[in-house]
Amino acid sequence: MGDLAWILISALLVNNFVLTLFLGLCPFFGVTSRVSTAVRLGLANLFVLLLTALCAWFLNRFVLGEAPYLRLIAFIVVIASLVQIVEMAIKKWSPVLFRQLGIYLPLITTNCAILGLAIFQTNRGYGFWQGMAFAVGAGLGLTLALVLMASIRERLDVADVPAVARGTGIVLIIAACLSLAFMGFAGLGSSL
């Protein structure tokens, strides 16, 4: 049990996907102007991450044993299909959400966090539950980073940012501060 807890906490805080592993940066810089959008996108990513962990485990266990070199192409095709299916499902069940997420929904395919999760999961030889814990931690960590950045940026809108820093410059500096802050989680879970 301590194993799963560490995997989750590690992906969520200690080795946060966005702020430490540099995965999932496109939505981080692109979508974080409003907290509400950030939350929705983060949770959409969490959902896709869970499905990806499941599929990656399945592929690794039953399909790719004899042909490890086809791993990358299998993963990316599965991810592209998953995102397509999720997109269609959201469009059908919540057209409002679909409109709000807009272009960012299909862009989940190129979100390095999704493929990154599959690759890390494979390299570390995670079993089923470990993969699930990993996906939950990664998805929540991604959402946390997105929400943090979005709430800061909402305040930035009314702050006096120097002209040269406006736009991505100040976002990167803030990301540096957030990443630095997250380094403070370094000792967490050492007793697990």
Q: Which residues bind other proteins (CB under 8 A)?
A: 6-7, 14-15, 19-26, 29-30, 69-70, 72-73, 76-77, 80, 84, 87-88, 103, 106-107, 109-112, 114-116, 119-120, 123-124, 163-173, 175-177, 179-180, 183, 186-187, 190
Query: Considering the complex, what minimum distance in angstroms separates the CB of residue 91 from other proteins?
Result: 8
Spatial separation of the C-alpha atoms in residues 84 and 81, rounded to whole Å: 5
Helix (H, G, I), strand (E, B) or coil at 186: helix
Q: At what angle do helices 168-182 and 128-156 cross, to 10 degrees?
A: 130
- The tokens describing 73, both together, are 């192409």
Q: Which is nearer to other proteins, 19 or 148 (CB)?
A: 19
Residue among 36 and 173 whose Cβ is closer to other proteins: 173
**CA dist list (Å): 137 to 63, 99, 175, 186:** 26, 27, 20, 16
Least distance from C-beta 7 to other proteins, angstroms? Answer: 8
> Which residue number, 11 or 140, has a Cβ lying nearer to other proteins?
11
Please count the residues of the chain: 192
- In the bound state with other proteins, the residue whose beta carbon lies nearer, of 19 and 53, is 19
Q: What token pair was written down for 16? A: 């946060």
Of 50 and 114, which CB lies nearer to other proteins in the complex structure? 114
Query: C-alpha angle with apex 14: 116 to 45, nearest 5 degrees?
Result: 40
In the complex, what is the shortest distance from the CB of residue 131 to other proteins, in angstroms, rounded to a whole number? 14
Using CA atoms, how far apart are residues 71 and 64, in angstroms rounded to an integer?
7
* Minimum separation from the CB atom of position 120 to other proteins (A): 6
- Tell the smallest beta-carbon distance from residue 34 to other proteins (Å): 16
Whether 144 and 45 have beta carbons less than 8 Å apart is answered as no
Show the tokens assigned to 137. Answer: 């931690």
Closest separation between CB of residue 49 and other proteins, Å?
Answer: 14
Within 13 Å of residue 169, how many CA atoms lie on the same side as its CB?
6
Nearer to other proteins, 46 or 83 (CB): 83
